[in-house]
Structure 1
Amino acid sequence: MSYFVTITFDLENPSQSPHGTNVYSKITKDFDNIDFSRIVTGKRKIDRQLPSNTYVAEFDDDVDHQSEIAEFVKGELKKIFTKYSVKGKYFISVGKNWSWKFGTF
């Protein structure tokens, strides 16, 4: 069994970053490098694009507690925000017995 990790965030004034509004695509590339994606694949092998600024990843079940994964991800997120001189709020969720739904209204 694995852990499913979700990150979502909002940046404060991204246009004030030295990278401008292009900072979102740069953050996405950095998330790709640590195996986070903006795409989920369902049981029917259909890829679904997640809402903006939402990323997911699966982690192996080789840690003592899910809080270790949350702390690791928080540290990686902090490095990325610092790299691009941005600030903002974030939410990280880590679950072991997980499921998800995708849809639109």
Structure 2
Amino acid sequence: MGRRLPGDPAVLTALVEHVLGEVLRHDEAHDSQLPVSARIWTERDHHTDAAAAALHIHPNTLTYRLRRFGAPADRDPASTGALTEVWPAIQAAVALGLTG
């Protein structure tokens, strides 16, 4: 699945806060499912139709969520450069139980 994350919860927490802090706060306030949508989409190699089916939503809804993810994160999950930060942060958030 990729590079192994550090085992230190403090390091994981710092990574999540740095990359996803605003997204998680937005999600908590609005129940927008942004982090889980980005995770499922990334796990399915950016195949919007497959990810939308897994999330039981319309592909346009997923596209909207991914655009919304980019605003508070200040990172476009479709950008390879941003993905190098976003993907480990999403994995860390899951490991810490902060998102599904």
Instruction: Return the TM-score normalized by structure 2.
Output: 0.31
By relative contact order (CA 8 Å, sep 6+), the higher-ranking structure is 1
More helix as a share of residues: 2
More strand as a share of residues: 1
Larger radius of gyration: 1
